[in-house]
Structure 1
Amino acid sequence: MATTPTTDESTNRTTNERPPEVLTQQWVRDRTRAVITDALRANGETLVEAPPAAGKTTGLFAAVEDTGEPITYLTQREDLYDQAGKLARDHGLKPKVLPSPHRTCPTFEGDHGDEWRNRVTTVYGPNVGGAAIHKVMDLPCSDEGTCPYQLAWDFEPANYDVLVGHYVHANVPSAVENRTIVIDEFAEEAAVTTFHDPEPVVSAFVSRRRGLPFDDWTDFVEHRHERRPEAVRWFVRNYRDKNPDSWDVIDDDGDVHGLAGELVLGLLFAEDLGNGFRTTEKTIPKPTPDGWQRMALRDTSVRRRMSPKVAWNTEKNAVHLLSVPNFDDANGVAALDGTPTKRMWDTAFGVSFDHERVVPPSRMNDYLTDALDIKVHQYGAHDPDKAGTRPYSSGNHLYAETDEKLLHGIGMHFDADPDVITTRAAIREYDEDDRVLHHADEYRNFASVKSSNAFRESTVGAVLGSPHPGDETFKRWGAFMGSAIEGSGKGVDRSYRAVGDEIYHHYVHNQVLQSILRFGRDGQEAHVLVTSMCTPSWVEPEPLKMMTFSGSSSRAVVDCLRDSDGMSQSEIVDETGLSQQAASKALNGLDENGFVAVEDKPGPYSSQYVWN
């Protein structure tokens, strides 16, 4: 493990180089390359925090060229595979995309019919690898020889500088050995397997294993503590065969799962946290002379051979299994993330990462405003009465009137309809009446914009509300960490205590920040309106004095008059579809506040309203 120089927050930890007084994007990109280069040379576990638009992917392949260190680049997004291959070749490196049955197997792709495709994809889900499926099942793609997927694995990894694949390839020994593993962005769905109904999976496993002292799920739940010593001895003797083999899963009716052994072992040691969750990670007293009844999984010899982390939601009887990959044979691990939460990375990979920041926290607002030229305007930042977290994930508590008013106002101020990022639920609700998103140019949800360049040319943006996955998610990750997470308070005052707040900020504040940084990435000044208070503490929002109009009728009249040289009330009614009464009320209000002038003109409509 590399040692790291000790410096204050304003200094880059890796090189002791202080950032310049005025941060530039080029300096940040150069620093990103340097920090990643040091991470590859360290042969340890390094978490590189490179903010969005810092060029971390480009910097990575330049660093591989600089160091000559072979890497395996793992990402969740398959659309980045081609980009990674091109960048590798641009730097004189030889890349290889690791095979996936979904891309290279005709059966998985549906060439032999939907029935075959559904069958293999169903088996693939319970953690049976593509190689095992091809070995055990008589697949049509192998009728005339070897399947292209199998042929694609016939290569020597040492002949390639860069292997490119999905997170699941972290479990393939040949893709890990003697290389530095580079993980691009944190992805919970790749690390966590959820059993919404663990009963049939556990019953199928314990009933088919001679020597395990349980008959079924009920017997297991009732007697797992007093029979724990005997069960642990079974796992110690049989850990290599702890999980069902591929044939068991393929030949079963759906109750056998490839991770059943890890699930049972984790549940065997799950202790109550007191918040509706049980976990393998709770610190409990040392074992008594009567054996393992009061021993934590981390204290057993079996933990060195397999290390499942379990978060058991006893209220819903759902179990979340965190499977930590084994990187013992890798040269090192470099994790790249724009907005990382170190505690979550440590938990997911079972190590303590060295956290290296490209830009120190004290200079992040400078990076936002100087290097990226993004101005954040936060609704409620300068008026506590308007401040709120606005969790929009459920779609049940939307501020439609406020959102419409603000989108209309910022569009008027900058003479351009804003591009909008919000939750799927908000888009669904706002799509139904079209009042709010009528004022947007384009709109996307939070999940779809991370690592996306869709709005890179957008100079006016709005982030409506905030994502909130629910307290169950925070409790789940707290359980993986051995912490009982509980929330208290409301709105901006709600807290989950120290560990819980880190998890909350990961899912909420960091996602809002990621959305802010989607705009204006082509060098132009961008203005982003944020309607929640869910931003990192270092963000310094700038005031924005823009006109806003209450009431959809007033906004419709304003839009009508701003695009004309003057109109009568009857013409406004025809143009907007408002009633005469609604149009008259809106015009009177605008007239009283000085936004319109009334002019007398000859013709059938003597009174003309003109935007003032």
Structure 2
Amino acid sequence: MLGDDLLHKPILTEREKRSYLRDTLGISILQTTAAANHYSGRSGISVTPELDLVLFEAIGRRENTRPSLISSARAIEAYRNYDQGGFSNIIDETEHYSNLKGSNKFSTTRVGIVAGCPHYGDGYIQKWAALAGESVEIALDERGNRTKGMNQDFGSFGNQILWGMRENEVLQAVLRFGRDSGGAIVYVHTAALPQWVERSKIVDRSQIQPWSDGMVDILQTIRKLDGDEWRTNDIADQIDLSGTQTNTNLNTLHDLGYLCKRTVGRGEMWSDKNLAEISTYGYVRFNDAAPVTG
């Protein structure tokens, strides 16, 4: 009856829910950041296309396919504005959080990305708390600043609303992929998942490296050089980098498998090993990580 309190009791245990995601739905979740990445509303200004496109391209190469993407409308716009042609080359279909309800757009998609999480602001949380007869305020940290990101804290009642708005919506986005019972691998570029959800943490921020301007200059110079081998100074003399800086970048390309190197006297000779396959935006070092929760 109207006015009566409803008692919510979960049917499945957390272990059973994990088993359902993994074994019944065939969903494998790979987490690629320890940050919340609030990519909607006013927080949309925190979108980092110069890093995210490096990750998206690396995911596509790792899975040998163009993944589809779910994010905020503002984030998707930022990615397109950063590099319209490049974004279309590495991402298949896109959809934003606000347009997911009832959607089967990605029902047969086997590789997906969920980038960032929704956050509708303090007012949203306070409004729903007020409707329940509760007053909530965001907690402050030890320096008197607002708690942020995954440390954001609205108190025990307010956090239930926060997690419903954020963590639960991210999980719903994950479940858009592979809905035909064929399963999916979903890369989640936010830490905002319910605690019970099993995920493999395969990347942190330090492992996502966009190409520097110096590296871009080196790659452009190499493509113009004559001959099959080059000395470090053959490249350094044509760009605004020292020989040491140039050598450091060339060693990075060697370590990543794009160049061959041999020592001649006190210097190195460089040659093409796999430059035709070099990524556009940078590189990512993925971890082999076992699934964990929380």
TM norm structure 2? 0.69
* In 1, Cα distance between equivalents of 2:158 and 2:29: 27
Deviation at 1:409, TM superposition (A): 1.5
* In 2, Cα distance between equivalents of 1:490 and 1:456: 34
Q: Match of 2:37?
A: 390
Deviation at 1:581, TM superposition (A): 4.9
- The yes-or-no answer on 1:493 pairing with 2:151 is yes
Query: CA offsets, 1:10-67, max 9 Å, x none?
Result: xxxxxxxxxxxxxxxxxxxxxxxxxxxxxxxxxxxxxxxxxxxxxxxxxxxxxxxxxx
Q: Match of 1:407?
A: 56
- The yes-or-no answer on 1:437 pairing with 2:87 is yes
Superposition pairs of residues 14-29 of structure 1, within 5 angstroms:
none
Query: Is the 2:258–2:272 Cα contact (8 Å) retained in structure 1?
Result: no
Q: Match of 2:8?
A: 355
Amino acid in the other structure paired with 1:452: S
Query: Is the 1:409–1:548 Cα contact (8 Å) retained in structure 2?
Result: no
Q: Match of 1:507?
A: 165
Deviation at 1:490, TM superposition (A): 2.1
Residues 590/446 of structure 1: CA separation in 2 closer, same or farther (3 Å cut)? same
Number of residue pairs aligned between Structure 1 and Structure 2: 236
Deviation at 1:553, TM superposition (A): 7.1
Q: Match of 1:302?
A: none
Query: Is the 2:107–2:177 Cα contact (8 Å) retained in structure 1?
Result: yes
Deviation at 1:548, TM superposition (A): 5.2
Query: Is the 2:26–2:181 Cα contact (8 Å) retained in structure 1?
Result: yes
Residues 494/594 of structure 1: CA separation in 2 closer, same or farther (3 Å cut)? closer
Query: CA offsets, 1:439-479, max 9 Å, x none?
Result: 21111101111321111111111111111000001111111
Query: Is the 1:401–1:551 Cα contact (8 Å) retained in structure 2?
Result: no
Q: Match of 1:122?
A: none
Query: CA offsets, 1:105-137, max 9 Å, x none?
Result: xxxxxxxxxxxxxxxxxxxxxxxxxxxxxxxxx
SS at match of 1:432: helix
Superposition pairs of residues 294-305 of structure 1, within 5 angstroms:
none
Deviation at 1:362, TM superposition (A): 3.2
Q: Match of 2:200?
A: 542
Q: Match of 1:123?
A: none
Query: Is the 1:450–1:515 Cα contact (8 Å) retained in structure 2?
Result: no
Structure with the greater relative contact order (CA < 8 A, sep ≥ 6): 1 or 2? 2
Which consecutive residues of structure 1, in runs of 5 or more, have no partner in the other structure?
A: 1-327, 329-348, 381-386, 561-567, 572-579, 600-605
Q: Match of 1:420?
A: 69
Larger Rg: 1
Deviation at 1:515, TM superposition (A): 0.3
* In 1, Cα distance between equivalents of 2:71 and 2:215: 22
Deviation at 1:508, TM superposition (A): 0.8
* In 1, Cα distance between equivalents of 2:256 and 2:129: 56
- The yes-or-no answer on 1:529 pairing with 2:182 is no
Query: CA offsets, 1:309-334, max 9 Å, x none?
Result: xxxxxxxxxxxxxxxxxxx6xxxxxx
TM norm structure 1? 0.35
Query: Is the 1:569–1:608 Cα contact (8 Å) retained in structure 2?
Result: no
Residues 555/510 of structure 1: CA separation in 2 closer, same or farther (3 Å cut)? farther
Query: Is the 1:466–1:534 Cα contact (8 Å) retained in structure 2?
Result: yes
Query: Is the 2:51–2:208 Cα contact (8 Å) retained in structure 1?
Result: no
Superposed CA RMSD: 3.4
Amino acid in the other structure paired with 2:136: I
Q: Match of 1:371?
A: 24
Deviation at 1:358, TM superposition (A): 4.7
- The yes-or-no answer on 1:454 pairing with 2:112 is no
